[in-house]
Amino acid sequence: MDRRDAFRLNALTSGHRACSGCGQAMGARMVGDLIGPDAIVVNATGCLQVFTTHNAQTAWQVPWLHSVFANAAAVASGVEAALRGLPRHARVVVQAGDGGTFDIGLQCLSGMIERGHDVLFVCYDNEAYMNTGVQRSSSTPHAARTTTSPPGRLSEGKHHLKKDLLSIIAAHHMPYAATASVAFFPDLKAKVEKAMSLHGPRFLQVFSPCPLGWDHDAAASVQVARLAVETGVFPLVELEYGAVTSVMRLAQPRPVEEYLRVQGRFQHLFADARGAEEIRHLQALTDTNIRRYGLLEAPTAWDTDEAGRVERGGRGGYASPRAEAPS
């Protein structure tokens, strides 16, 4: 009998040690159940690995292995290559935080994609090194407070911009890459199903609030994730072979200030004129996202060189799919 008919999988089951409201725990639970039992999961070092596998116990109900921080994609490449010689074919999935993806794992991820391994890489993006005490990563947004980018007399939080990882991934021209959010389950579900219907390297960046590191109420995680999408801070998009194929449109983007206000990591920006200047900067960065991906009703070309290949659709009730690329 197909195990899918027998019970609800709960790939990541209860009893783990995540903080309450952990976006990564929510995301991993959703993605794990959507992928189903025929998966082998490789987990980079990070919060998700630590809170699910404590001292000889595990919350995973699928085959799961821990790699070191840097090499999850290389380990998954080896697992996938080994499986080719076996009669029963499981699908290989990598899970990593943004530190394990944007920073220390990037070389192995690039190699895995370039060699064409049949692996889905899922990055749970909580925008800092949470497991080791909320240090900034290259995914941390500009002006956010972390323990290594503290605001003070000479600083308004992190000096640098959030790395545009999706563009780096897109440059590999792989079959599928997408952004998703724990606040938009139907969209996330469609993207996991699409990714699993394809073969070759696939990438999913799941926006995953961290109440501890972002300093917001544990009950507000979904609200924070929703605001990131509704302001345009975190666009929900899909790419196939490097070209944008769909975006979740925004009828009326909310001001970025609404997103910043609900998180302690941005509270210093509301204290003085220097902070107000940074908020204007963050709004300008968000407006660039909105223009770049054409998130408003009126479609705009994402990339003029690629305009002929860009098709725009929508999900989640924001817009109906368009058959033609914008002229």
* Site residues, ligand SF4 (CB under 6 A): 18-19, 22, 24, 47, 51, 126, 130, 210-213
285 interface partner picked from ligand SF4, ligand TPP, none, CB below 5 to 8 A per type: none
Cβ closer to ligand TPP: 58 or 245?
58
Q: How far is the CB of 16 from ligand SF4 (least distance, A)?
A: 9
How far apart CA 163 and CA 202 sit, in angstroms, is 19
Q: Minimal distance in Å, beta carbon 200 to ligand SF4?
A: 29
Tell me the three state secondary structure of residue 312.
Answer: coil
- Report strand pairing: 176-181 vs 237-240: antiparallel
Show Cβ contacts of residue 320 under 8 Å, excluding neighbours closer than 6 positions: 313, 314
Please, what is the minimum distance in Å from the beta carbon of residue 24 to ligand SF4? 5
Nearer to ligand TPP, 132 or 300 (CB): 132
Residue of minimal Cβ distance to ligand TPP: 97
What HEC string does 28-58 produce? HHHHHHHHCCCEEEEECCCHHHHHHCCCCCC
Which of the listed partners (ligand SF4, ligand TPP, none) does 51 bind, with a CB threshold of 5 to 8 Å by partner kind?
ligand SF4
Angle between helices 221-231 and 23-35 in degrees, nearest 10: 80
Catalog residues that contact ligand TPP under the rule CB under 6 A.
Answer: 24, 45-48, 69-70, 96-100, 126, 129-132, 137
SS3 91: strand
**Which residue number, 66 or 309, has a Cβ lying nearer to ligand TPP?**
66
Spatial neighbors of 152 by CB under 8 A, at least 6 apart, are none
Which of residues 24 and 67 has its CB atom nearest to ligand SF4 in the complex? Answer: 24
Nearer to ligand TPP, 44 or 190 (CB): 44
DSSP 218: G
Partner whose footprint covers residue 132, from ligand TPP, ligand SF4, none (CB < 5 to 8 Å by kind): ligand TPP
Which of the choices ligand TPP, ligand SF4, none does residue 129 contact, using the CB cut-off of 5 to 8 A by kind? ligand TPP
What is the sign, positive or negative, of the torsion defined by CA atoms of 143, 25, 168, 107?
positive
Residue 70, contacted partner among ligand SF4, ligand TPP, none, CB below 5-8 A by kind: ligand TPP
Q: Which does 18 bind (CB under 5 to 8 A by kind): ligand SF4, ligand TPP, none?
A: ligand SF4
CA distance 121 to 175: 12
77 with 119: CB under 8 angstroms?
yes
Centroid of chain to Cα 230? 16
Q: Which residue, among 72, 138, 132, has the nearest Cα to 102 in the 3D structure?
A: 138
Which among 157, 180, 168, 179 has a CA at the least distance from the CA of 281? 157
19 binds, among ligand TPP, ligand SF4, none (CB under 5 to 8 A by kind): ligand SF4
Residue 211 binding partner per list ligand TPP, ligand SF4, none, with a CB distance cut-off of 5 to 8 Å that depends on partner kind: ligand SF4
Cβ-based nearer residue to ligand SF4, 19 or 198: 19
Q: Which is nearer to ligand SF4, 27 or 253 (CB)?
A: 27
Q: How far is the CB of 145 from ligand SF4 (least distance, A)?
A: 15
- Tokens representing residue 75 in the block: 């380990």
**Residues 233, 9: Cα–Cα separation, whole Å:** 33
Query: Residue 125 CB, nearest distance to ligand SF4 (Å)?
Result: 11
What is the closest distance, in whole angstroms, from the C-beta atom of residue 242 to ligand TPP in the complex?
A: 25
Write out the two tokens for 295. Answer: 């998130």
